[in-house]
């Protein structure tokens, strides 16, 4: 019992929990804003990529983003950014653009999965291009790719600790700061893992329910 008390201090855990929760708030905010950006920008890229010239240019850019480490992108953009732009803003933007390169491919696969006959039918009915996309193509395409898009939400949430490289004090960075004061890392890092699970597991459950509700329709 004495060994257990030395290994884990419940009183210390209660003291540092508010600080860890503040770091978790930053992590969730960065994930939410970055993911919304990734979904929106990824959809835009997937649609524009069907235009011949812009498609080739965007394909090269997206391949470059996917094949370079996220942490390098964060540091590079942070170094070049104006000093009045906060590290959090830079981190969210880079996260969003980085994952937009992946969500764009997901959207593309969904769009290509729409039956060719439906495209031909919309042209035969002289439907406007905007109407074809919003009423026929995108509703089917997005429904098909909900599971993959949801997986990237979890992946982005787990990548937010990389924001520490540019000075954003998210959950893991907060745990390092708190733990270094008393050199007690067992409690802090264990709580980090628990808090990550506390958010990621319910998110995964929601994604699975959305998959069952929309994909199977």
Query: What residues have CB less than 8 Å from 183, skipping those under 6 apart?
Result: none
What domains, with CATH codes, occur in the chain? 20-215 (1.10.3720.10)
Taking residues 153-181, report their average pLDDT.
91
Is the pLDDT assigned to residue 204 strictly greater than 70? yes
Distances (CA, A) of 1 to 15, 29, 183, 187, 190: 21, 39, 21, 17, 19
Query: What residues have CB less than 8 Å from 114, skipping those under 6 apart?
Result: 136, 137, 140, 141
More confident residue, 27 or 129: 27
Is the pLDDT assigned to residue 50 strictly greater than 80? no
Q: Identify whether the C-beta of residue 172 lies closer than 8 Å to the C-beta of residue 158.
A: no
Q: How confident is the model at residue 216 (pLDDT cuts 50, 70, 90)?
A: low
**Whether the model pTM is above 0.85:** yes
How far apart (Å, rounded) are the C-alpha atoms in residues 16 and 21?
A: 9
- Tokens read off for 66: 């996917």
How far apart (Å, rounded) are the C-alpha atoms in residues 161 and 173?
A: 7
Question: What integer pLDDT is reported at residue 80 of this predicted model?
Answer: 94
Q: Identify whether the C-beta of residue 98 lies closer than 8 Å to the C-beta of residue 70.
A: yes
Is the pLDDT assigned to residue 100 strictly greater than 50? yes
DSSP letter for 77, please. H
Question: What integer pLDDT is reported at residue 155 of this predicted model?
Answer: 93
Separation of first and last alpha carbons in the chain: 55
């Amino acid at each position: 019992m004495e060994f257990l008390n030395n290994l884990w201090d419940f009183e210390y855990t209660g003291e540092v929990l508010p600080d860890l929760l503040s770091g978790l708030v930053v992590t969730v905010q960065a994930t939410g804003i970055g993911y919304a950006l990734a979904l929106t920008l990824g959809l835009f890229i997937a649609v524009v990529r069907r235009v011949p010239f812009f498609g080739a240019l965007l394909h090269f850019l997206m391949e470059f983003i996917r094949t370079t480490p996220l942490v390098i992108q964060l540091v590079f953009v942070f170094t070049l950014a104006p000093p009045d732009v906060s590290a959090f803003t830079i981190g969210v933007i880079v996260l969003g653009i980085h994952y937009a390169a992946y969500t764009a491919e997901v959207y593309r696969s969904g769009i290509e999965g729409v039956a060719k006959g439906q495209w031909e039918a919309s042209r035969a009915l002289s439907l406007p291009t905007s109407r074809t996309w919003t009423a026929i193509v995108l509703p089917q395409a997005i429904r098909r790719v909900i599971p993959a898009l949801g997986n990237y939400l979890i992946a982005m949430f787990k990548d937010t600790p990389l924001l520490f490289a540019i000075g954003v004090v998210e959950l893991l960075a907060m745990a390092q700061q708190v733990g270094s004061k008393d050199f007690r890392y067992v409690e802090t890092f264990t709580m980090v893992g628990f808090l990550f699970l506390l958010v990621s597991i319910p998110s995964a459950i929601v994604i699975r329910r959305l998959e069952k509700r929309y994909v199977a329709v």
